[in-house]
Amino acid sequence: MAAAPAPPAARAARVGLLYDERMCAHATPDGEEHPENPERLRAIWRKLNAEGVASRCVVLKAKEAEDKYIASVHSNNHIKLMKEISSKKYDSSRNKIARKYNSIYFNKGSSESAVLAAGSVIEVAEKVAAGELHSAIALVRPPGHHAEHDEAMGFCLFNNVAVAANYLLNDRPDLGIKKILIVDWDVHHGNGTQKMFYNDPRVLFFSVHRFDHGSFYPSEGDGSHCFIGKEAGKGYNINVPWEHGKCGDADYIAAWDHVLLPVTEAFDPDIILVSAGFDAALGDPLGGCCITPNGYALLLTKLLGFAKGRIVMALEGGYNLRSIANSVFACAKVLLGDKFTFSSPEMQPFESTWRVIQAVRDELKTYWPVLSRKLPENLSLRIKPSPSELYASSDSEPDGEDVDELSGALSSVNVIQFADDAISEHLSKMKLDEENLAVKTASSCSTAEHHPTDSVEVDIDGSVVLSKRISDLSLAWRSDLSRTHVWYASFGSNMWKPRFLCYIQGGKAEGMSIPCCGSRDTSSPRGTMWKTVPHRLLFGRSSTPCWGTGGVAFLNPEINYNEKSYVCMYKITLEQFNDILFQENRLVLEDGKNGNVVYPDSPLIGSSEVEFMSTNKAIHLEPIKDSWYSNVLYLGDEDELPILTMTCPSSDIERYKSGELPLAPPSKTYAATLIKGLVEGKQLDADGAASYINAAAARGL
């Protein structure tokens, strides 16, 4: 879908720009380096002043948010702590409290900055809603979209955009704002905002973010496209979860044209709030994506035709000072009505982008019939980036020349009207290229010997890391591994055989929200038996697409003979074990065009890896190192066959201990599945099984 026509430039002339140096008081307590630092705001402000943009805007100062407005989305306890954390009484405990949160710091300026950030977004949103301003940009920090009802996380203390949205809907009915679109283009999922409006049909929440099959921060399953809202809000939560990094202008434009814009037209919002994180920008040290300043300008331009152009941008992430300054500059010029030429060196989206878009449309078409229309065809797509690109470190800024080139290209943004029709026509011809559909996983395991370019290393925690090259193995590996049998040991929901068979034969069992794709080999296991192992059972993470809110089972990789965990062992082929490993780590994909299942084209575990594990006891699969079940453990032998299971890496155990990753009790449906497995397997009675699970969930690490 092409963008709705933008309103005349004259109507966009009155643009608010809020900046206040007081929000720079929030900083690390001892001056340590941190990506979310005061220079982010100052760099943007310097750029806007140097280019004459600030003088063309209505410049506003920050205003503190009243507690009653913050309380519309946050608990009273959370508000009290955030407002008092900078006071003298917390001088000795402030750092200790910060460590209890996920990616949070506090100092003596944090409380004031947080209240100002929330109040500033209210201030500009109110003025835009009232017609005093046509649009506005709120340069605020700390950011907000990760902050949840009772918890600060991910650099965010209060959820600034959520507070403002609730204010417009519930406290100012006189402004006539009845429907709000929140567009979150920060590279990270807006988990906090999603939860705050999950059952509210007045708010259409759209988040496009790196998901990486659940491994990218905040590493929660609810960033999946399957999470679409609940009750009255069902269909009003839209996630577009990228499968990998390096997504750029073309990928985001495709998500706009084929998901966001058609739904927005049907929703017809009264105002648009943008959670404007710029950490998907080219050169960002945390995001790993490639949006250019012109790309952000076009994304914003495509929104101007809705809500009478009433748009409020609230700063979220973005940690490369040049990129964030140039990107905000580009957006400010769009709101001021300046025209620009859009050009991109790479106009094809990734094939994974098209697959994600199709999956999102399939999930939502019941609620938004416009998404039922057939997608355009006949455009070649880029294949997934190579492993060296995906896993390359991005901890440094891009070369000054690269950023200067972007800045130079941007300097002419007010010269020529962009050729949007040509771009939309080009992008609308996208079709999944079946010849490029095979998924290149970042691992390729020989079934005989390690390739000379493979390497085995001992990680700092003592675990073994297997780093392998990509190869062009054919599917002959399946034939080879189908002749090798192993015992797969399950300690979680797969202890219940009907649920386990979903991983083999496809479909879903009682309690599951989404089906499994199954294995290429649908043969039932050749044997089943139970045993206990000396590893600690724990429940981690906070939600999954399949089981909803609640933790899921992991085994601590470390052997502890004081622990005893039950495992149900299934005798299956090594091919089937790989297919389970693929599914557990969300590497099996579906071609949205025709429903075909797409498996990785090479195994993660081959015969040589099994032999290696018999000596080293574990392999941490480096190519999928950030996936939840990337650690394969060797638990011994039974009938001369190896016993294998999959769990989290030892590094995740440390993150659970520190609180960086959440420990959470399982959902009722997930716990019931484990109980059925233990009871039907005649290991425990129902009460004993429930006590076993509750004890594992209640204990700290």
Instruction: Round to whole Å and give the CA distance between 177 and 167.
Output: 10
Confidence of residue 431 (pLDDT cuts 50, 70, 90): very low
Strands in 175-215 per DSSP E: 180-184, 203-210
Asked if the model's pLDDT at residue 509 lies above 70, the reply is yes
Q: What is the reported pLDDT for 386?
A: 59
Do residues 375 and 255 make contact, with C-beta atoms less than 8 angstroms apart?
no
Asked if the model's pLDDT at residue 600 lies above 60, the reply is yes
Q: What is the reported pLDDT for 378?
A: 64
Q: What is the reported pLDDT for 538?
A: 96
Asked if the model's pLDDT at residue 438 lies above 80, the reply is no
Per-residue pLDDT of 96-109, as tens digits, reads: 999 999 999 999 99
3-state secondary structure of 102: strand
Angle (deg, nearest 10), helices 76-84 and 110-130: 120
Lowest mean pLDDT among 151-155, 174-178, 512-516, 569-573: 512-516
Instruction: Round to whole Å and give the CA distance between 216 and 146.
Output: 13
Phi-psi region of 512 (alpha: psi -120 to 50; beta: other; left: phi over 0): beta
Instruction: Round to whole Å and give the CA distance between 315 and 321.
Output: 13
Lowest mean pLDDT among 85-99, 340-354, 364-378, 501-515: 340-354
Confidence of residue 581 (pLDDT cuts 50, 70, 90): very high
User: In the predicted model, what is the mean pLDDT of residues 515-538?
Assistant: 94
Task: For 461-476, give the secondary structure using H, E and C.
Answer: CCCEEEECCCCCCCCH
Q: What is the reported pLDDT for 455?
A: 37
User: In the predicted model, what is the mean pLDDT of residues 489-498?
Assistant: 96
Q: What is the reported pLDDT for 199?
A: 97
Helix count and strand count (H, E) for the chain: 22, 22
Asked if the model's pLDDT at residue 550 lies above 50, the reply is yes
**146 among known catalytic residues:** yes
Reported as type and span, the H/E element at residue 241 is strand 237-242
Lowest mean pLDDT among 6-15, 448-457, 653-662: 448-457
User: In the predicted model, what is the mean pLDDT of residues 14-33?
Assistant: 96
Domains of the chain, earliest start first: 15-376 (3.40.800.20), 476-698 (3.10.490.10)
Q: What is the DSSP letter of 557?
A: S
User: In the predicted model, what is the mean pLDDT of residues 410-428?
Assistant: 35
Q: What is the reported pLDDT for 464?
A: 40
Q: Spell out a b/e string for 355-382, using b for 16 or more CB atoms within 10 Å of the CB, else e.
A: bbbbbbbebbeebbeebeeebeeebebb
Q: What is the reported pLDDT for 389?
A: 58
Lowest mean pLDDT among 85-99, 143-157, 249-263, 624-638: 624-638
- Of 266, 269, 353, 336, the closest CA to residue 306 belongs to 269
Cβ of 88: how many Cβ atoms within 10 Å?
8
Per-residue pLDDT of 364-399, as tens digits, reads: 999 999 999 988 776 677 877 755 555 443 433 333
Instruction: Round to whole Å and give the CA distance between 505 and 525.
Output: 11
Higher pLDDT, 10 or 291: 291
Instruction: Round to whole Å and give the CA distance between 556 and 395.
Output: 30
Instruction: Round to whole Å and give the CA distance between 616 and 618.
Output: 6
Per-residue pLDDT of 127-147, as tens digits, reads: 999 999 999 999 999 999 999
- Average pLDDT taken over every residue of the chain: 85
Confidence of residue 347 (pLDDT cuts 50, 70, 90): low
Q: What is the DSSP letter of 226?
A: T
Confidence of residue 411 (pLDDT cuts 50, 70, 90): very low
Q: What is the reported pLDDT for 475?
A: 63
Residues pairing with 181 in the sheet: 204, 272
What is the share, in percent, of the chain residues with pLDDT greater than 90?
71
Asked if the model's pLDDT at residue 338 lies above 80, the reply is yes
User: In the predicted model, what is the mean pLDDT of residues 169-189?
Assistant: 98
Residue with tokens 């809000």: 233
Identify the active-site residue in 74, 134, 145, 146: 146
Asked if the model's pLDDT at residue 21 lies above 80, the reply is yes
User: In the predicted model, what is the mean pLDDT of residues 552-558?
Assistant: 96
User: In the predicted model, what is the mean pLDDT of residues 320-337?
Assistant: 97
